[in-house]
Structures are given as C-alpha cells and as structure tokens.
Amino acid sequence: MPGEVDAIQRMIDHDRNLAYTSSMGRLFDCVAAMLGITKEITYEAEAAINLEYLASKGIMDYYPYQIEDEGTFVLRVKDILINIMRDIEKGISKNIISAKFHNTVVHFSLDMAKNLSKIYGMKKVCFSGGVFQNRYLLDSMIDTFQDAGFDVYVHRILPTNDGCISYGQVIMGNLISGK
C-alpha cells in the first residue's frame, strides 16, 4: 500500500496518467481505491457502497477543494486527494476519512449550487443519479441544502439511478424544444 500511495502522489504532483471525468462515481472509486477498500470493481457502485458503510457518523470535517470559473464551474479535486493521502499517511481511521470525503462532496455540491443560483436565480435542486443511492450522502445533502434555503426534490416514483437522469433529459429536451 505505501508504494501505491507514493505512486498516486507522484501522479497527482506531476499531473500525469490522470483520468479527467465528470462522473461522481469515478471519484468514489478513486477514494475507495486509495483507502484500499475496493481495488477492483466487481459490481456497479461497489466502491461507493463500501465507502458509505465505512463512514463514521457525527464527523463534521471536510477536505479543502477548489471551484474555478472557466466560463463554466469546474471542481478541482487535487486538494481533496492530496489531503486524503495525508490523512492516510497520518494513520487517520478509514471511517473518518470516508466521512470527511462524503462531507466534502456535500460542501462542494452546495457551493456549486450557490454559484449557479446567483447566476440563474434558482433555489430548486433535484438529486438524481446513482450516487444518490448512497443514503449517507443523500441525507446529508438534503439537510444541508434545505438549511441553505434550497427547495430539494428527490425521487418518489422513478429510480434514482441513470435511467431517471435520462428521463429528466427527455423532459428538459421537450421543454427547450417547446413540445
């Protein structure tokens, strides 16, 4: 494990062999691999499920992150990953690291929503996608967003996974096209 941690640290430091993605699932996969709890995915959402069950309750800390405005808002995860590596090297419990990671996702999601709310004047958010099968994350997001004054919508009839995202895209496409 220490050799793997060093290799990942070098990759981050030199910005080499890194996969750029917009998928929240890949971020969960990465953190689970860093913690050594899921090195190979054998079923959908395995890493995220393992991280969810590992997360300690009652932890409020989170990792630093950056959101940059490049004409669109971009989350930079380098600081998150570096600080997770530091916690691993310090011997911080995987349970605490998982909780801090989940809390980080909540915080950067809220900051992103606030940025978009300033531009578009919207205070309504819909949580959809496979990541919201994670109850720890969903409950934290609902509480945090409602406390910040957002109206939160979650699934009641359709599933929260990617099928529902597709459904939402069809609805939006029809709204935009006027059908």
**pLDDT digits over 81-107, tens only?**
999 999 999 999 999 999 999 999 999
The pLDDT of residue 108 is: 97
The partner residues of 67 in beta bridges, in order of sequence, read 75
Mean pLDDT of 114-118: 95
Residue with tokens 């996702």, as numbered in its chain: 105
Q: Higher confidence at residue 3 or residue 172?
A: 172
User: Which among 94, 77, 81, 84 is positioned nearest to 36, based on CA atoms?
Assistant: 94
Does the model's pTM come out above 0.85? no
More confident residue, 95 or 158: 95
Average pLDDT in the 75-86 region? 94
Rounded Cα distance between 8 and 38, Å, is 16
Query: Of 42-46, 73-77, 98-102, where does the model show the most confidence?
Result: 98-102
Fold of 2-177: Nucleotidyltransferase; domain 5 (3.30.420)
Task: Categorize the per-residue pLDDT at 39 as very low, low, confident or very high, splitting at 50, 70 and 90.
Answer: confident
Q: Please, are residues 102 and 136 in contact by the beta-carbon 8 Å criterion?
A: yes
Asked if pLDDT for residue 131 goes beyond 90, the answer is: no
Write down the pLDDT at residue 81.
95
- Other Cβ atoms less than 10 A from the Cβ of 42: the count is 6
Could you tell me the residue ranges of all domains in the chain?
Answer: 2-177
